[in-house]
Amino acid sequence: MIFIGIDPGNSGALVVLKNRDIMIRQIFSEENYLESLRHIHNLMLQGESCVCCLEHVHSMPRDSHKSAFAFGNNFGFIQGLLKAFDIPFELVTPQKWKKEFSVTSDKNTSIAVAKRLFPKVDLRRTAGSKRCTKDHDGIAEALLMAEYARRNL
């Protein structure tokens, strides 16, 4: 069974788990997501089962019109890809999946929980790079959403 977690924000990410092993981890770009979800679709055509947990978030009133539009565009693009590739998905609010892991709105708690549950995973934006030293909260949250899907969907 394949489990996908997607943080749809502008600095979001997509993580694909098979059992508890990471198959794919991508920072958001239309090209990355198109290629990754096409690959998952091909696996489904070969008989693999799949489910996706897509974070159901909204733009915030304090967001600029430009960033709110970009966010909505990304969110719609992701839903369109999932539908086009017949990947079943559920929209899950941040409150719901974060409660599962006792994560707060502080992004560092997501990173800490992801490291505890998946100690061998490199959460840096560019995994393996010596220049990148900071963990990416989008990858951590997408990983936790994939794990949420594994446990609950």
- Confidence (pLDDT) at 101: 97
What is the token pair recorded at 76? 């719609």
Pair 139, 5: CB distance under 8 Å: no
Pair 11, 55: CB distance under 8 Å: no
Give residue 126's identity as a one-letter amino acid code: T
Q: Residue 113's Cα: distance from chain center in Å?
A: 15
**153 residues of the chain, pLDDT tens digit each:** 999 999 998 789 999 999 889 999 999 999 999 999 999 999 999 999 999 999 998 766 666 766 666 777 889 999 999 999 999 999 999 999 999 999 999 999 999 999 999 999 999 988 777 788 899 999 999 999 999 999 999
Q: How far apart are the first and last CA of the chain?
A: 11
Cα 143 from Cα 125, distance rounded (Å): 13
Question: Under CATH, what is the fold of the domain 2-152?
Answer: Nucleotidyltransferase; domain 5 (3.30.420)
8: CB partners within 8 A, 6+ apart: 28, 54, 55, 57, 71, 74, 75, 78
Domain boundaries, the chain: 2-152
Give the C-alpha distances (Å, rounded to integers) separating 45 from 23, 49, 59, 86, 107: 17, 9, 35, 10, 36
Q: At what angle do helices 30-45 and 65-84 cross, to 10 degrees?
A: 20
